[in-house]
Structure 1
């Protein structure tokens, strides 16, 4: 029963200050906004901000093929992702292991011809363990995980005094170990992980007071 539109649909929309919107979006997200980003935000604001949140957590996911971004890869499938001009990653998925008691799976793949193994949460399976809290970037006493991986070792105990540069723990990711060190003096208030546990990026690992 409604009267049909007789004008261009956009003519009935409120005007938008494109450059002001671009500047605000860049300030909110902390990154440069090109025309493609701006168009995506204006048409689908929530979808775009959710998409950019994945960049913050997982890196430049926009370089992935669309099908891979939405549905993942199949064993034996190979893709190319250009993360910088002239820098392309060749990724071939080999296989995916079984889900463990923490809801994690091991993913076996080749990166530029080199075999790699990582542990990631299986989003299709509800873990029996409670979600680990995330580190607060505004709290300098929070030590968060810089990447997904597995805690290889823990070098401190609750109540232990630490100095700047002291090793707190090591993380294994992609067959490489990364040490996390204290950047301030204090006392270990809490340890939220133990050796062998899988972790996600930004998980709260250690608290120092």
Structure 2
């Protein structure tokens, strides 16, 4: 286009076309993971959601069962941004705004409701972290009234967040880290663990269960094999295995399927549990009275911090809900004694599922 001008640039069109063909082929493999957003939108001038976050927001909403309220989420994002003082929205501050927008949408709250009921709400942990000062100090400070509602009795920082970091003895802690996991974990793994401990624990547990899946072809990894489909897996230099799926039987009464395949030409069979054979979903009791504390959104009830008989002060942490990269610590809206724990950590909960009951 610029040939013959001083801005002309020599480009290898054949090379560019090779890149184009490559990404066209790759997209066929990864299309199930696309966000579903087919075009740009002028709404960006209203809600100011960064592009990367915008493409992730719909899958996140889908994971929380809120995809049908995506327009409300975008509107709430705009409202949250105003409530928080019109933040500079980059990772991770933009995620905090998104977490709060999801929280408001899942609980049918608007900005006025938050300001009215803020002292009784259990805000997402990322929101508390922002107002505490973990991401730094906002220019001009955060809105004072909202800050008091979010932090409750906690005082925000007045200095740099790194001044509150606990010093790390890398040599000592790295040795402990290798004992906790394996000696094969390197310093990069250690840094990943220190930055994202729960994510690394999950990754390591999957690695221990399945080993290194990197050699698997992408299509086989994501979608599995079709009957009579054959793949070559390169394990290393001069090391390859040939696998061909023959067929998979229907599940028996216990949900077990027999998988017949060829491994380097030899027919083998293994038994595999079909986890989709029978629904094990449990309908939990819902929180309906003032003395019953339920989950504010659907997700994983990762931990319960109290036990029966505990006398709890207002704003004390009760349990944690994890959902789509968002962690929320649910606190006590009043003082009281724990009468019953209805659900323990490690179960999936729906919104309003009863977790704790007070006397």
Q: TM-score, normalised by structure 2?
A: 0.28
Q: Which has the higher contact order (CA 8 A, sep 6+)?
A: 1
| TM-score in terms of structure 1 length | 0.44
